[in-house]
Amino acid sequence: MADIRNNSSSTNQQIGIWHESLPTQCRKNELQFASYCNDYIKYITKKNITRAFFLIQDPSFCPYVKLNWVVKHWLDKLPATCEAGFLLDTEPDYPWINSPTPWTSIGGRNDMMELAFQEVARLNLLAKSQKVTCIGFDSENLVLGKVKDTGYSTKDGSTWITNMFQTYLPGIPLDWGWASGRMAGDATLDIGGVRYPEIYWVGETSPACDVAKGGDACSLAENGTDYCTSLNNVDKLLAGPIGTALQSFSESNTNQQGWAMFSVEKWTKGPTFSGECVASYNTDLVDAPDMIATVKYTIVSTGTTNFMLCGAPSNAPGTEFTATAPIAGTGQVTKSAICGVLDAFGIWDESKFDDFLTTVQKNYHNVPKVMIYEWNFIPQGWI
């Protein structure tokens, strides 16, 4: 195996930031949305971010898309040095309101992917300066029924996405890709000119954490991850599985189209490690009718809501449960695990995380581009 460390000659070093969720209150309240975006812009400027994403969801239930808040408060305020990207929420399991339900096939009248790209084009027309030039997806959100090689996550799906990009973003170089665990890429699926391999969950977690897939087993208290056992120690962390994964990725990334993604998640709660993250700082109480299926919540107050009808084992305040659906009533909850499901870089000092990114870009020849996953997990103290 060739030694690719200590061999960087690239002048194309860039830092990007992912965006894959939005606190409920920010989706509904323009003032809170504007404050949230203002912090995002401040962080992008502070860190000299060169590529930033913003989640775009079905405008039928998202005022921040339908009423163009995302243009007014984010796109039009991005620094000129930062590329603008939209991350499209096009899950076949949850079709957009104006697309066929249930989702059955790629293409056709009102195909959800086409509706999403039409929305990108519409928002671009409204933007005064910065335009969206890159598109992102999460590979897990392109499959149907969580089954591999279904939905848009197929050869035909990739071809269709490429077609949509070229149709609705004419004149813009092809630039779409998805976050996935495919370290070496896939010649059939990764045809959008860019890819975002997830350099986490690559062996840096303990056996107990692997089994639990998140939670206390993945915490600092139980030394559940290498981020814990190598806390603030860049060289020690890179001597483990993450370093091995980076070397493998670098060898497959000779065209340097891939952005290595690193997670700033944090599971450990309380005032330790800069306290809140962006998501928790911006999240107020969630009303029972605003809950989202499959998301984990903790009951704060019951009111007139019977949470046992939507997955809770009881109605007692403090009860944690995974919602099966939103439900009527005046009950309120908070999201659980809102800053992530494991202790990753969110427990590191900000300066040490910066050192880590710089070291990766310097020491791995084909990894000049790194991507932070994601804005909502950034510790509030880092802004």
Region of 311 on the Ramachandran plot (φ > 0 left; ψ -120 to 50 alpha; else beta): left
Distances, alpha carbon 82 to alpha carbons 152, 176, 188, 323, in Å: 28, 16, 29, 37
Asked if 158 and 191 count as a contact pair (C-beta separation under 8 A), the reply is yes
DSSP H or E segment with residue 352: helix 350-363
Q: Is 39 exposed, middle or buried (0-12, 13-18, 19+ CB in 10 A)?
A: middle
Q: What pLDDT sits at residue 4?
A: 37
pLDDT greater than 80 at residue 284: no
Cα distance between residue 277 and residue 267, in whole Å:
10
Q: Which of 91, 71, 92, 112 is nearest to 20 (CA)?
A: 91
Q: pLDDT (tens digit, 9 = 90+) per residue, 53-87? A: 999 999 999 999 999 999 999 999 999 999 999 99
Q: pLDDT (tens digit, 9 = 90+) per residue, 124-176? A: 999 998 999 999 999 989 999 989 899 999 999 999 999 999 999 999 999 99
Q: What angle do CA 113, 116, 121 make, to 5 degrees?
A: 125
Q: At what angle do helices 155-168 and 112-126 cross, to 10 degrees?
A: 30
Res. 274 pLDDT band, cuts 50 70 90? low
Q: Which of 269, 342, 330 is nearest to 299 (CA)?
A: 330
Checking 269-274 for CB contacts under 8 A at 24+ apart, the result is: 272/347, 273/346, 273/347, 273/379, 274/350, 274/379, 274/380, 274/381, 274/382
Res. 270 pLDDT band, cuts 50 70 90? low
Res. 320 pLDDT band, cuts 50 70 90? confident
Res. 8 pLDDT band, cuts 50 70 90? very low
Q: pLDDT (tens digit, 9 = 90+) per residue, 330-354? A: 999 987 668 999 999 999 999 999 9
- All structural domains of the chain with their residue ranges: 14-271+338-382, 286-335
Q: Which residue has the higher pLDDT, 328 or 280?
A: 328
DSSP structure class, residue 17: E
Q: What pLDDT sits at residue 286?
A: 86
What percentage of residues in the chain have a pLDDT greater than 70?
Answer: 95
30: preceding bond cis by omega (within 30 degrees): no
Cα distance between residue 302 and residue 333, in whole Å:
9
Cβ atoms within 10 Å of 233's Cβ, excluding its own: 15
Q: What angle do CA 267, 272, 274 make, to 5 degrees?
A: 90
- The fold for domain 14-271+338-382 equals TIM Barrel (3.20.20)
The structure tokens listed for 167 are 């149709």
